[in-house]
């Protein structure tokens, strides 16, 4: 389907259910897609960090896109991460996921290399020139170890290189500069500029990846959110979005706080025994398994699985949130 401009609402980064042997569990993926679509979400984002894209082979990545697109059946836009180290490799990922049906691609700055803002800009320009679908920038310094400067995002937005931003930087002030900037461009860049093209920029999509700050991101003017926790509780985030649209800030905040309490599950995994990815993705998958959505809570190698005790504590979070 055509990518909306802008895309608004709740766009979960879809977990990738795996079999005990580490293969994509297609039946569970279909079930998870139905769970999310049934929860009222407004789009799906596959092959992001929450999808364990870092752990999936190219063949598995392709299968995830194909099967998600098939199951969605055009009801919602499907965004796909095209995650690889630098431009030439990202271009191959873009080709692969768009051939599999993605409606837009989400692309990070180069990583592993010692890069520079001018190289990051060139990277996005080359990717956008080659992509058959809109390109969203994925700002995720925890993974790529550089931050996308707000000014660069606005510049690439104004040029039409970028169709949107998925912000997982945690930098809410920078996020606000983009949100405000695309609305008032080019006035945000300088207090007394000449001319400008504010109209086109209103079509730029700004999404937050901060699960605990969706209400405030929306209040700032963000178009929507990409919360990993929405795998577990899509209804909650959809409710939050609707409360915001209805102008009920107090109830939106209360819903957000309920979701923040639920989000505590990502800290259950013992940090002395596992990394943050294992803990967070393990928690989401354990919760999906406990809720009966997916058949197996396994995460990909070399992540460390949650212990039985940790899974039991995930269950308590679900129970406290009324999700069991």
- Interactions with a second copy, residue window 60-89 (CB under 8 A): 60, 83, 85-89
CA torsion through residues 41, 23, 287, 172, sign: negative
β-partners of residue 166 are: 138, 207
Token reading at 14: 């879809």
Compute the C-alpha angle 183/247/158, nearest 5°.
Answer: 10
Site membership for a second copy, residue 307 (CB under 8 A): no
Site membership for a second copy, residue 304 (CB under 8 A): yes
Of 106-145, binders to a second copy (CB under 8 A) are 110-116, 118-120, 122-123, 126, 142-145
- Give the nearer residue to a second copy in terms of CB position, either 70 or 176: 176
| Interatomic CA distance for residues 206 and 266, integer angstroms | 25
Site membership for a second copy, residue 291 (CB under 8 A): no
CB of 35 to a second copy, least distance (A): 22
Of 219-278, binders to a second copy (CB under 8 A) are 219-220, 249, 253, 257, 260-261, 264, 271-278
CB 166 within 8 A of CB 136: yes
- Give the nearer residue to a second copy in terms of CB position, either 1 or 304: 304
Residue 218 backbone phi and psi in degrees, to 5? -65, -40
Token reading at 276: 């943050």
| Interatomic CA distance for residues 33 and 62, integer angstroms | 16
Of 164-223, binders to a second copy (CB under 8 A) are 170-173, 176-177, 180, 187-188, 190-192, 210-213, 215-216, 219-220
CB under 8 A: which stretch of 56-64, 71-79, 131-139, 198-206 binds a second copy? 56-64
Token reading at 213: 């700050």
CB 300 within 8 A of CB 22: yes
- Give the nearer residue to a second copy in terms of CB position, either 83 or 240: 83
């Amino acid at each position: 389907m055509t990518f909306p401009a802008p895309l608004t609402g709740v766009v979960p980064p879809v977990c990738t259910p795996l079999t005990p042997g580490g293969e994509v569990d297609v039946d569970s993926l279909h079930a998870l897609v139905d769970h999310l679509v049934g929860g009222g979400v407004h789009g799906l984002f596959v092959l992001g960090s929450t999808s364990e894209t870092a752990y999936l082979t190219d063949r598995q990545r392709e299968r995830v896109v194909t099967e998600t697109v098939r199951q969605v059946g055009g009801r919602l836009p499907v965004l796909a991460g095209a995650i690889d180290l630098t431009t030439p490799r990202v271009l191959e990922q873009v080709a692969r996921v768009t051939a599999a049906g993605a409606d837009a691609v989400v692309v990070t700055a180069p990583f592993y290399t010692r890069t520079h803002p001018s190289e990051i800009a060139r990277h996005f320009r080359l990717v956008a020139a080659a992509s058959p679908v809109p390109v969203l920038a994925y700002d995720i310094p925890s993974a790529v170890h550089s931050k996308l400067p707000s000014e660069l995002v606005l510049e690439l937005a104004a040029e039409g290189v970028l169709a949107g931003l998925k912000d997982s930087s945690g930098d809410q002030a920078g996020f606000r500069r983009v949100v405000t900037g695309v609305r008032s461009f080019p006035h945000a860049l300088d207090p007394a500029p000449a001319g400008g093209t504010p109209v086109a920029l209103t079509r730029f999509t700004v999404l937050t990846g901060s699960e605990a700050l969706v209400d405030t991101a929306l209040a700032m003017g963000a178009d929507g959110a990409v919360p990993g926790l929405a795998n577990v509780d899509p209804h909650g985030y959809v409710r939050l979005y609707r409360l915001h649209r209805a102008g009920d800030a107090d109830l939106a905040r209360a819903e957000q706080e309920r979701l923040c309490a639920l989000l505590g599950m990502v800290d259950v995994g013992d940090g002395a025994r596992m990394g943050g990815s294992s803990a967070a993705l393990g928690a989401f998958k354990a919760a999906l398994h406990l809720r009966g959505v997916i058949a197996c809570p396994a995460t990909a190698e070399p992540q460390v699985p949650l212990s039985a005790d940790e899974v039991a504590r995930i269950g308590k979070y679900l129970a406290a949130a009324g999700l069991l």
